[in-house]
Amino acid sequence: MRFKSIQLMAIGVVAMCSAFNASAETLRVGMECTYAPFNYRTAEGELAGYDVDVAKGVAAIIGADFEYVCQEWDGMIPALLANKFDLIIASMSITEKRMEKIDFSGPYRFSTGQIVGSKKTRVTLFDGSGNPIPGNFDGLKVGLERATTYSSWFEEKLPGADVLLYDSSESLYLDLQNGRVDLIMTNPMKAHLKFLAKADGAGFEFKGPVVDEEKYFGIGVGIGMRQGQDELKNRLNGALKKLINSGDLESYARKIFPFKLHKDEWGQ
Amino acid sequence: MSFDLNLILDSLPKMLAGFGVTLQLLVVSGLLGLILAILLLLMRLSGKFYLDWVAQVYIYIFRGTPILVQIFIIYYGLPQFEAVRDSVFWSILREPTGCAILALTLNTGAYVSEILRGGVLGVDKGLLEAGSALGMSARQKFIYITTPLATRLALPAYSNDVISLLKSTALASTITITDMTGIARTIVADTYAPYEVFISLAIVYMIFTFGIQKLFGVFERYLGRYARREE
């Protein structure tokens, strides 16, 4: 009897400890904090956007505290590997190249790209089947963010293009307006909301189709983490599926867009 | 942490491809900056308060603000004005290289003019009095006495500024220029290996700096040839 009660007590203490640990778990999350409408600071200085909503939703489900770290895009993966933070929730596409260095959860948003240019630039950039025509990019300057899916797509598909690499997406729009570049490639949802729908973007339009080749754009955008953390990965995947199936993920998207940004089958 | 030596060997030649761009930024803005510095110096020494005052304000502004901020104002700020985009200067300001050279020139000009002024003020009054006694005009004294001596006095501090200008050129990579730093950052973005790539980059800059130091050393010895004691 006495032994049993000690055993029970021991189990109780262990259980309490682990419960305590779980609630006190803190994970640091890296994001750009300047990538509206996905992750950005509001005028009040609060983090907001689709990625931020996803992060908060996941944190609530897995019972962890998330601390947010703002990191420039081109240093995102090195910073994760250097242990500056534990997760990347920053609209990062799940590409094969990145998978060599880090692990990803399942997808929580579509990953696509589209070219934007001036309405005055009257060149056919893509053929009928949606492939770029390299010759027609001659003499056009293309602005891209460094280390993005868009820059790897350009590198592979149009190695001869005259590419300028930028550190932030905001400067892309500025230089497109200033005429320093003729074309940019970026996320079409973002380009529409933050540029084309505004007065600044009046003279500009999408050039060519939405590109989403899996080789360059991955199956979607996921949560990045260091390799070899399968337990954490399973918890994150479980949480993302819960967000998809409960309809929360769709509600995050509908705060910003009139449509959802994921496939329901990702919840299975 | 694994340290990939092969990556260093791979990335070194790629970075050296940007050497020409870095050298161009350094040499062009260094020379233009020196001309600007001499103009500012002459304004400061002119004895005319309005010229002196303009030069002082200019120097104060460009020494009082970070070079990165100056680059951003010139690159992103100026084109916001339509007048700038329509002006003849747009052909220079449109190009990132033009903006970088402009910013580096304006910045280094302010610093170097103060270095040169230090040199001019360091010239012994007695020598100038001797010049006057020989009947030299103010202009002759400036050209034959002040200039050579001031150059010798200012040279060590000036070589310091050239080295710091070299390192400032790395900031050009923030406005899309593919200098050595720009290339290194792209390699890091591709390989996610910041240590190897940035350490090799640092070594390249150190070798470059060593070359500049040696060059100025030769020049200093040449200018100081009269001051050296016979052995």
Whether residue B197 is contained in a domain is answered as: yes
CATH code of the domain occupying A25-110+219-267: 3.40.190.10
Give the ipTM of the model, two decimals please: 0.80
pLDDT given for residue B157 in this prediction: 96
- ∠A19-A21-A23 over CA atoms, to 5°? 70
- Which residue has tokens 């200039």? B147
pLDDT in tens, A208-238: 999 998 989 999 999 999 999 999 999 999 9
Structurally, chain B folds into a number of domains equal to 1
Handedness of CA B91, B93, B96, B102 (dihedral sign): positive
pLDDT in tens, A18-41: 545 545 689 999 999 999 899 999
pLDDT given for residue B104 in this prediction: 98
Whether residue B31 is contained in a domain is answered as: yes
Chain B residues near residue A200 by CB distance under 8 angstroms: none
Whether residue B96 and residue A146 make contact (CB cut-off 8 A), yes or no, is no
Residues linked to residue A118 through DSSP beta bridges, in sequence order:
A204
CATH code at B197?
1.10.3720.10
pLDDT given for residue A2 in this prediction: 55
Chain B residues near residue A155 by CB distance under 8 angstroms: none
Please give the structure tokens belonging to residue A201: 């973007």
pLDDT given for residue A168 in this prediction: 84
Whether residue A77 and residue B192 make contact (CB cut-off 8 A), yes or no, is yes
| Averages of pLDDT over each 10 residues, chain B, 231 residues | 79 91 97 98 94 97 96 93 89 94 97 96 94 94 94 95 97 94 91 89 95 95 79 55
How far apart (Å, rounded) are the C-alpha atoms in residues B38 and B180?
30
Highest mean pLDDT among A135-139, A195-199, B39-43: B39-43
pLDDT given for residue A9 in this prediction: 58
Q: Give me the residue from B76, B85, B185 closest to A74, CB to CB.
A: B185
Q: Where are the domains of chain A?
A: 25-110+219-267, 113-216
Whether residue B118 is contained in a domain is answered as: yes
Options 3.40.50.300, 3.30.70.890, 3.40.190.10, 1.10.645.10; CATH of A113-216: 3.40.190.10
Residues linked to residue B128 through DSSP beta bridges, in sequence order:
none
Which comes out higher in pLDDT, residue A24 or A242?
A242
What is the helix (H) or strand (E) element at residue A163, kind and residue range? Answer: strand A162-166
Q: Does B97 touch chain A (CB under 8 A)?
A: no
- pLDDT of A15 over the 80 cut: no
Question: Do the domains spanning A25-110+219-267 and A113-216 agree at the CATH topology level?
Answer: yes
- pLDDT of A16 over the 60 cut: no
Whether residue B178 and residue A165 make contact (CB cut-off 8 A), yes or no, is yes
Q: Is beta strand A65-70 parallel, antiparallel or unpaired with respect to A113-118?
A: unpaired
Domain that holds residue B163: 5-223
Q: Are B14 and B187 in contact (CB under 8 A)?
A: yes
Whether residue B231 is contained in a domain is answered as: no
pLDDT given for residue B218 in this prediction: 95
Q: Are A120 and A62 in contact (CB under 8 A)?
A: no
Whether residue B182 and residue A165 make contact (CB cut-off 8 A), yes or no, is yes
Whether residue B230 is contained in a domain is answered as: no
Whether residue B50 is contained in a domain is answered as: yes
Residue type, A260: K
Give the C-alpha distances (Å, rounded to integers) separating B207 from B58, B197, B211.
Answer: 33, 16, 6
Whether residue B228 is contained in a domain is answered as: no
pLDDT given for residue A6 in this prediction: 58
Whether residue B120 is contained in a domain is answered as: yes
Which residue of chain B comes nearest to A83, CA vs CA?
Answer: B1
Whether residue B190 and residue A78 make contact (CB cut-off 8 A), yes or no, is no
